[in-house]
Chains A and B, each alone.
Chain A
């Protein structure tokens, strides 16, 4: 069966959920091989998990140089592997960095690439949701090796045992790939909440929150659901919540199982970032707010009454 390369997304020694989604999607096209690019020793802790989701091989590209420079070393490693293995496709997570790796890899291998795919079939035809979710597009790569970046949360990961045979790669990062050196990594307060793009539940606050202090209501509700916290552009522009939490056309696109919109009117810019969510619920004082056109369940009323009550009820039900 044709080999399909899957670039492993990992953080702090753990495989990220999107990787299992990529491996699941890769099995439709051929036999997945996981590619771990990271610091020395990175692969050992992850290989069993990768095999569980179908990785026949696990390529270990380990070097301190890989994480020391922006994107280029990873694209270079993958390009060498594509030249060597001639895979049927390469699957990468459609994250900001994943898209950049996909792009550079496409140029290095004279291939086409597709980003933000929400599905992929056995022929490598990708489905995308464009214009803020208003249009569904199918597209394919015509040149070289199909390089497909798949949006997190789009494919349900399923287990299927693979051999998980580790093959060590020789790493030599070229001088050309060492142009942009990462000299420091700064973690800003993130707390224990899941990553916005990957979370299965997202609770977002908007203009109706009124100020930054009131976002504690959104955070409490999010924590009761194990959710990530988002914000509308109105709220981030007002400085009530950090910009990186913005959901919408110019922010993060999310597609969780549940999206809770609190005090968000649902302007087209916001809808573009969340309308492919599986279930949408909304709380807003204005019954005419366009968010209610999208919502599976909406409550018209004062969020300052409803949200604490909802949080309390969820906490009670979870016991």
Chain B
């Protein structure tokens, strides 16, 4: 079972995040950048599947030059080899364009499964798994909180609002995983050292055979028109409980006609 796992570098959610004033795209340079947290669960799931069923795990990431740190983290966790798609021409690509670029690279790789996280914490569109399934013409196994492999049959539990669906497909397929599917391992010192010697391919748009007219801000299918910081909430009233705090709260809710 050969697996390509997708990871994305995102601005750290603990730091202040902003859009750039010049082109209204996400500022990926100024703050700390980290691996998108749910992608660690995707890497862990890929490693576990290959440990149980054999095969090789390749990490694929699209992002600016500094995203190499995120790719190396996946290698340090135990992924076998890496492909980093990076090119100034990709800057400002929208989700459909990104899915096209990734699908183009995936077309050159050998995979039975593509695994990604269910959502990136920057754009939060939660659609990349579905977009890739559409582009690649393979089954969409997204929102997985459990994955089972039985030969070429893949069965997942797809999270729903009140439980889950059991969904079945045959490989090749795209899986997106939810948090809590597993507990991602920490890279060991040995893993970090070994990562430095693993095959690492850096691709430009031209190397990957992506038509530059299909990607990038100028050709994006949607655009940011404007943005403003949210006005801060007016500070409210805070009272100390002196035995009647619950009643006071109820009185406030009544005064607001909520109850």
Whether the Cβ atoms of B99 and A310 lie closer than 8 Å is no
Among A44-52, A56-64, A161-169, A189-197, the stretch in contact with B:
A189-197
Instruction: Give A302 Cβ to nearest chain B Cβ, in Å.
Output: 7
In contact, A186 and B13 (Cβ under 8 angstroms): no
Q: Is the CB of A138 within 8 A of B226?
A: yes
Q: Which residue of B lies closest to A221 (CB)?
A: B246
Please tell me if B213 contacts chain A, counting CB pairs below 8 Å.
Answer: no
Contacts of B228 in A (CB 8 A): 135-136
Task: Name the distance in Å between A12's Cβ and chain B's nearest Cβ.
Answer: 11
Scan residues 1-24 of chain B and give those whose CB is less than 8 A from a CB of chain A.
13-14, 16-19
- In the complex, whether B125 has a CB less than 8 A from a CB of chain A is yes
Pairwise interchain contact B163-A115, C-beta atoms closer than 8 A? no
Nearest CB of chain A from residue B134's CB, rounded to whole Å? 5
A-B contact pairs, 19 of them (CB 8 A): A70-B142, A72-B140, A96-B159, A102-B127, A106-B96, A111-B96, A112-B221, A115-B124, A137-B227, A140-B223, A243-B179, A250-B37, A268-B14, A280-B233, A283-B245, A300-B238, A311-B246, A312-B246, A317-B250
Which B residue's beta carbon lies closest to that of A237?
B180
Does the CB pair B246–A269 fall under 8 Å?
no
Whether B238 and A292, one on each chain, are in contact in the complex, defined by CB atoms closer than 8 angstroms, is yes
B151 at the interface (CB under 8 A from A): no
Contact of B121 among A139, A249, A312 (CB under 8 A): A249
A118-155, CB under 8 A of B: which get 1 and which 0? 00000001000111111111111111100000000000
Specify which chain B residues have a CB less than 8 angstroms from the CB of A295 in the assembled complex: 236, 238
Bound CA–CA A138/B167 (angstroms): 36
Chain B interface, number of residues (Cβ within 8 angstroms): 85
Contact of B197 with A by CB under 8 A: no
Chain B residue nearest in CB terms to A251: B179
Interface pick from A19-27, A35-43, A83-91, A177-185: A177-185
Residues of A within 8 A of B121 (CB): 249-250
Instruction: Determine the residue in chain B with the shortest Cβ distance to A178.
Output: B139
The docked-state distance in angstroms from the alpha carbon of A135 to that of B243 is 39
Contact A318 B236, beta carbon cutoff 8 Å: no
C-alpha spacing A308/B13, complex, angstroms: 35
- Complex: chain A residue closest to B99, CB-CB: A107
Is B237 located at the chain interface by the 8 A CB criterion? Answer: yes
User: Min CB distance, B121 to chain A, in Å?
Assistant: 6
Kindly state the separation between the CA atoms of A138 and B119 in the bound complex, as whole angstroms: 21
For B220-253 the 0/1 string (1 means CB < 8 A from A) is 1111111111100111111111011111111011
* Residue in A closest to B126 when the chains form the complex, CB atoms: A99
Contact with A along B112-134 (1 / 0, CB 8 A): 00000011010011110111011
In the assembly, what is the distance between CA of A130 and CA of B139, in Å?
A: 30
Q: A residues 229-272 with Cβ under 8 Å of B? A: 243-244, 249-250, 257-258, 268-269, 272
Does A275 reach chain B (CB closer than 8 Å)? yes
Interface pair A104/B134, CB less than 8 Å apart: yes
Q: How far is the CA of A107 from the CA of B121 in the complex (A)?
A: 22
Q: A71-B140, A181-B169 given. 12 additional CB < 8 A pairs?
A: A95-B161, A113-B221, A113-B222, A116-B124, A139-B225, A141-B221, A180-B140, A186-B164, A283-B249, A293-B233, A299-B238, A301-B241
Pairwise interchain contact B168-A181, C-beta atoms closer than 8 A = yes
Interface presence of B205 (CB below 8 A): no
Instruction: Assess the B259–A142 pair: CB atoms within 8 A.
Output: no
Interface string of A279-319 (1 = CB under 8 A from B): 11101000100001111111111100111111111100110
Q: Give Cα A296 to B236, complex, Å.
A: 4
Does B206 touch A at the CB level, under 8 Å?
Answer: no
Are A142's CB and B220's CB within 8 A? yes
Of the candidates B19, B235, B253, the one having the most CB atoms from chain A within 10 angstroms of its own CB is B253
What is the bound-complex CA distance between A135 and B124, given in angstroms?
14
